[in-house]
Amino acid sequence: MDTVLSGIRSTGNLHLGNYYGALRNFIRMQHENSCYFFIADYHSLTTHPDPKQLHENVKDILCEYLAAGIDPNVATIYVQSDLKEVTELYLMLNMHAYMGELAKTSSFKEKARKQPENVNAGLLTYPTLMAADILIHNADKVPVGKDQEQHLEMTRRFARRFNNFYNVEFFKEPQAYNFGQELIKIPGLDGSGKMGKSEGNCIYLCDDPKVIEKKVKRALTDAGPTTHNSVKPDCIENLFTILNVVSSKEVVQHFEDKWNTCEIRYGDLKKQLAADIIAVTNPIRERYNDIRDNEAYLHQVATEGAEKARENAQKTMRGVREIMGFKSF
């Protein structure tokens, strides 16, 4: 049985990118594997969230996980900051992570460009914290979107380096995973490459249907194809990428044919796309509303999840301390 782990930063509500990049893959694997899914609240600190908001953000995501279909009786759901062992492993891995390689990470370079007033050390060591999340459970598979590929590569490098340095076979090298396919990237509806919280171009899982219709209607399009079987411009390719994940094969083929024969009407495409997104998100939004105020249930899920995750984490840390030479008097 494989150990599968994934996580999502608690910096805002879950969007279609999170769902199709990570969450849905995870949900599909939860019954056949030993699965851990967590809320990365430590990672959210790089942007200095308002303390009054921090817990609410974590709670939102916990409810969205559950509403989307993670079953706490099957998978282990926990909050990253409930697992103090992660911070210890983070510290130890940092001693074997080098300035040069951390500063070269794409996500660091991008964040440093976007928030030059706050290039903190947590941003630089973001990949070591992520590696600690994964290695603390010695995960085999990590369902993530394409944007996390480089972080996974670094995790493998840190695992290998630890094993080589201490001459042990302790950590496994985890693989980024998407169900039987390449890792995917869900684009934004504004013609940009990626749907993302900081990009401000998201369709959220709990968006009201009217809001979804409005967002899809406003999606960027062009003047339309003029020659048969032409290559789609980015903004149209983006709409088809989302159609591909939310709609049936027949619907996708229908619009592909219309594109190829220059008969496509973007109004029809957008109507269908909005309807299919709503069909996917509606049940999630409804379940979310049902559990959002059920404090007792959320408390139970988070507490039991943390306990289960801790057992594993403590075992890993006992091994790491011993390998590194820590002994108690």
Cβ contact 5:139 at 8 Å = yes
State which residue, 178 or 272, has the beta carbon closest to ligand TYM. Answer: 178
Based on the residue annotation, tell me whether 215 is a catalytic residue of this protein.
no
130, 136, 243, 274: residue in contact with ligand TYM (rule CB under 6 A): 130
State which residue, 62 or 264, has the beta carbon closest to ligand TYM. Answer: 62
Q: Is 194 in the site for ligand TYM (CB under 6 A)?
A: yes
Least Å from the CB of residue 10 to ligand TYM = 8
67, 124, 145, 203: residue in contact with ligand TYM (rule CB under 6 A): 145
Q: Is 134 in the site for ligand TYM (CB under 6 A)?
A: yes
27, 35, 39, 40: residue in contact with ligand TYM (rule CB under 6 A): 40
Distances in Å between the alpha carbon of 10 and those of 57, 123, 203, 238? 6, 15, 16, 26
- Exactly one of 146, 194, 232, 308 is catalytic; which is it? 194
Q: Is 17 in the site for ligand TYM (CB under 6 A)?
A: yes
Least Å from the CB of residue 329 to ligand TYM = 34
Tokens of 149: 């590929």
Q: Is 7 in the site for ligand TYM (CB under 6 A)?
A: yes
Least Å from the CB of residue 184 to ligand TYM = 5
Q: Is 185 in the site for ligand TYM (CB under 6 A)?
A: yes
Based on the residue annotation, tell me whether 232 is a catalytic residue of this protein.
no
Q: Is 148 in the site for ligand TYM (CB under 6 A)?
A: yes
Q: Is 18 in the site for ligand TYM (CB under 6 A)?
A: yes
- Exactly one of 172, 185, 197, 217 is catalytic; which is it? 197
Least Å from the CB of residue 38 to ligand TYM = 8
SS3 annotation, the chain: CCEEEEEEECCCCCEHHHHHHHHHHHHHHCCCCEEEEEEEHHHHHHHCCCHHHHHHHHHHHHHHHHHHCCCCCCCEEEEHHHCCHHHHHHHHHHCCCCHHHHHCCHHHHHHHHHCHHHCCHHHHCHHHHHHHHHHCCCCCEEECCHHHHHHHHHHHHHHHHHHHHHCCCCCCCCEEECCCCCCCCCCCCCCCCCCCCCCCCCCECCCCHHHHHHHHHCCCCCCCCCCCCCCCCHHHHHHHHHHHHHCCHHHHHHHHHHHHCCCCCHHHHHHHHHHHHHHHHHHHHHHHHHHCCCHHHHHHHHHHHHHHHHHHHHHHHHHHHHHHCCCCC
Least Å from the CB of residue 227 to ligand TYM = 30
Based on the residue annotation, tell me whether 197 is a catalytic residue of this protein.
yes
State which residue, 8 or 66, has the beta carbon closest to ligand TYM. Answer: 8
State which residue, 22 or 264, has the beta carbon closest to ligand TYM. Answer: 22
Residues with catalytic roles: 111, 194, 197
Give the binding site for ligand TYM (CB under 6 A): 5-9, 17-18, 21-22, 40, 43, 130, 133-134, 142, 144-145, 147-148, 184-186, 194-196
